[in-house]
Structure 1
Amino acid sequence: MNPILKKMGYSKEDKVVVVHADDVGITQSSIDAYLELLDFGTISSGSTMVPCPWFPEVAKVFRNHPQIDLGLHLTLNCEYETYRWRPVSTLDPSSGIIDENGYFKQDKHEVMKTGLPEYVATEIEAQLTVARNMGVSPTHVDSHSGTLWNPKFIDAYLDFYKKHQVLPVVFNLPGMADSLADSMKTLFNVPEEKINRFAAQGLPVVDAIAGLPVEHTYGRNDRLQLAKSILKQLPKGKLTHFAFHPMKDTPESRGLKRYSEGRIGDYEVFMQNELKDFLVNNGIQLIGYKDLMKYVSLP
């Protein structure tokens, strides 16, 4: 059983999940979706992207509602062709994280190949500084597109807990047997010894990863059934991070012209009473990273 869940009073029979809205602030509609889903009760957490144009609106929302569970989705790439973001710390081409026009590179693989660790460390520190300067106190940090799981960058990511008293979301990949975890290990070449060292310090790690595929649309009912199927298979006595990317259906959302249908589908599925009732009837317990932090002693 996950030690942090035991501390929190859960049993080895409980299914416990952080239902996590990624990319809050990528559009105005993503902010609205996040807030509505929190209020509806089918999500428990989310993380925002400081380099995105809508981040100041996210900060305003947080200042007005400081009780919400919101982390930072630390960002090193921008995967869209015509909707671009820049770093907040540098426009130096030698950093390896920007293109010839000063925007984040689109391809996460290229960023992991060319990005210099010292610039990456400075950039994610700067994103936290901007967030705090604008009144956001993040409950946690995680990584957009998983780039910070690369061995070149992971030290700066894991150091967040002791440098800033902010919990990095850490997946216990060495102990996972599911295909999503295996694909992450291969894609990011995750240094298992560093994850083991993190866990050995008594800091919480996530046992399992789940979520809805943003790159695939499906019909609304098919997407609902897929979500229910995934959630029904959550492991007992383990902490699962369920990531998805909800947005409301607006012209701006459609204007992304990449993954829009999947993101809109995420919102529409999790705003259904059928999904809400499914969570209750199957004993699926939602917690947030703010809940976890109450049981963590950080320097």
Structure 2
Amino acid sequence: MKLAEQLGYGNDEVLLIINADDYGLCHSVNQSVQQLLAAGAVSSATLMTPCAWAREAALWSASNKHLDVGVHFTFTSEWEPYKWGPVTTSGNVSSLVTKEGYFPAGTKAFEETADAGQVRLELISQLERALSFGMTPTHADNHMGSLYGLATGRHFLTGVLEVCAEYGLPFRLPRYVTPEQGGIAPPEMEEQAKAIAALADAKGVVILDYLVGLPFHKGEGETYDSFKADMKHLLASLKPGVTELIIHPSLAAEELDAFHAQPEKRVMEHHLFLDEDMTAYMKERGITLIRWRELQQLQRGKKAKG
């Protein structure tokens, strides 16, 4: 039985989760994500617990448990002026950090040096940090794809799926890799995706059918109107089943400008999903917005039946 049918929808329906990544990164991102969640413009967000503004984000989420917020497993710290590191306070996580004590800037360095046991410890620490703030996470995903082995082929998904199974969290993983515009995973990972999907099934972790997104950086000559047109083109190409669309919204702020190389694109994403024209377009295309909470309920219901 396909995922859509398991969730109570028809197999020919186009179901979309819009997830706002990087919640907790900074105050301007938090403001944007909270506005989008409250307006129902996005389905969910995921929290970067190691970041400086994670506490503000988590406490707001704890006070708004009807809105879907998960944990954005974070093992990289990509901006030079603004860094963060592990939240683990008891245990050895030395393989996860640079000599300065921060996460590495890129996924390749992380994949080459990280110890799988230390990764698992930090995964649990990040989840426990969210829980300590009163959150009830609905799902989990991964910042910059560091856990997927995209740079070297060395992935950490076995441990991730074990932890997600323990905590009752569905995980951002596409069952199908597609070469069409907006596909996040490269086509050469199709066989690996099948194997990991089978592992997720075996461990009882619910995953997506498809995962899509547009470039995170503003292209040369890109405008709000051209970005909107590209997003509409992407949405028009969605297949029946459950797709997640990744976005990284923020309000405009000096805070964001101080460390981010492409802040304009994040601001565009904030405004795009509050744009009534986009809402009307999704309705016209027959796209149904769903929530990670539905996948979590499915996962926990299966486990209960045992």
Structure 1 and Structure 2 fold alike (TM over 0.5):
yes
Q: Distance in 1 between matches of 2:97 and 2:187?
A: 24
- Report how far residue 145 of structure 1 moved: 0.8
Cross-structure match for 1:102: 101
The aligned residue for residue 258 of structure 2 is 255
1:223 is matched with 227
Provide closer, same or farther for how the CA distance between residues 184 and 53 of structure 1 changes in structure 2, counting only shifts above 3 A: farther
1:287 and 2:286 aligned: no
Contact preservation (8 Å) 1:17, 1:239: yes
SS in 1 for 2:136: coil
Distance 1:93 1:138 in 2: 25
Once the two structures are TM-superposed, the CA of residue 63 in structure 1 deviates from its matched residue by: 2.0
Structure 1: which amino acid aligns with 2:48? M
Partners of 2:23 and 2:45 within 8 A in 1: yes
Is 1:298 matched up with 2:303? yes
Q: Shift in Å at residue 210 of structure 1? A: 1.2
Residue 63 of structure 1 contacts residue 136 of structure 1 at CA under 8 Å; is this kept in 2?
Answer: yes
* Counterpart residue type for residue 89 of structure 1: T
Measured in 1, the distance between the counterparts of 2:96 and 2:188 equals 22
Distance apart, 1:200 and its partner CA: 5.2
Greater Cα shift, 108-117 or 84-93: 84-93
CA distance in 2, matches of 1:194, 1:21: 24
List per-residue Cα deviations over 1:44-72 (Å, max 9, x = no partner). Answer: 11101000010110121012111110000
1:265 aligns with 2:268: yes
What is the CA–CA distance in structure 1 between the aligned matches of 2:208 and 2:29, rounded to whole Å? Answer: 25
Show CA shifts across 1:62-103 (max 9, x none).
Answer: 121111100000000100001000111169997322111111
Deviations 1:225-247 (A, max 9, x none): 111111111102x1101001000
Percent identity (aligned): 24
Q: CA deviation at 1:212?
A: 2.4
The TM-score, its normalising length taken from structure 2, stands at: 0.89
Task: Give yes or no for contact 1:91–1:102 (8 Å, CA) kept in 2.
Answer: no
Q: Which amino acid aligns with 2:169?
A: V
Give the alignment partner of residue 168 of structure 1, picking from 162, 171, 187.
171
Q: Which is worse superposed, 31-40 or 283-292?
A: 31-40
- Quickly say closer, same or farther: Cα 1:222–1:191, change in 2 above 3 A: closer
- What aligned pairs does 1:140-151 form with structure 2 within 5 A after superposition? 140-150=139-149, 151=154
CA contact (8 A) 1:8 1:295 kept: yes
Q: Once superposed, what is the RMSD of the aligned Cα atoms?
A: 2.4
Question: Alignment partner of 2:195: what SS?
Answer: helix
Provide the residue aligned with 2:207 in structure 1: 205
- Offset, 1:134: 1.1
Matching of residues 29-48 of structure 1 within 5 Å: 29-48=28-47
How far residue 206 of structure 1 moved from its aligned partner, in angstroms, is: 1.3
CA apart distance, 1:127:
0.5
3-state SS in 1 of match to 2:96:
coil
Deviation at 1:193, TM superposition (A): 2.1
* Residue 43 of structure 1, CA deviation: 1.0
Which residue, 136, 159, 162 being the options, matches 1:156? 159
Deviation at 1:256, TM superposition (A): 2.1
TM-score (norm: length of structure 1): 0.90
SS in 2 for 1:159: helix
Q: 2:102 is matched by which residue type in structure 1? A: Y
Where in structure 1 are there 5+ consecutive unaligned residues? Answer: none
Deviations 1:175-219 (A, max 9, x none): 545463552755x99464232232356643212111121123420
Partner of 1:83: 82
Rounded to whole Å, the distance in 2 between the matches of 1:7 and 1:153 is: 28
Q: Which residue type is aligned with residue 233 of structure 1? A: S
